[in-house]
Amino acid sequence: DDGESQSGFHKSWTLLLVLFIVVPLFYVVWRVMQSTDPTLSSRDAEIVQAFRDRMKQLENTYQSQDPSLWKRTHLLLEKRLNNSRLHLEPAILLLTAGQEAEKALRCLSNEIADAFAFSQNAATIKIDGEDKAILDSDAVKLEVDNELS
């Protein structure tokens, strides 16, 4: 009798433990399925497509650029666009070039930023590091943080 009651006791606790794990798991899965909004995913697809269209125009305009620039830019920015969480921090790309290509780089970087912002109906800010090169690094960081805010 005592062995059977202990076995029943263990079975009851096992069943209770399984219920405590399975019920919340089903609830979480159900909530995720409920929150999946098909209009949101179509909006995300429109955003990515708008970005791709603008980037394709840029590739045609700046044909002399290395293909890896376009590949890396697409990968980085599309990954960010495809991420469903809300981004409160800025997207930052750091591009460099020699002095002879400074004007082209400035135009290209502005165009890429505008393409990314346009796809999300957002704004861009431009920070010229050359003007800040002679300033104190802490002051520059504070100034840049204020501009980004």
All structural domains of the chain with their residue ranges: 1-36, 38-148
Nearest Cα residue to 87 out of 79, 97, 95: 79
CATH number of 38-148: 3.40.50.12190
The two structure tokens encoding residue 121: 């109906």
What letter does residue 85 receive in the DSSP assignment? S
What lies within 8 Å, CB to CB, of 29 at 6+ separation is none
- Rounded Cα distance, 52 and 114, in Å: 12
**CA of 113: how far to CAs of 19, 29, 98, 116, in Å?**
51, 37, 20, 5
Can you give the pLDDT of all 149 residues of the chain as single tens digits? 555 566 666 677 777 777 677 777 776 776 666 555 455 577 778 888 888 999 999 999 988 888 998 998 888 888 888 776 666 677 777 888 888 888 888 888 889 999 988 888 888 888 877 788 888 989 988 988 888 77
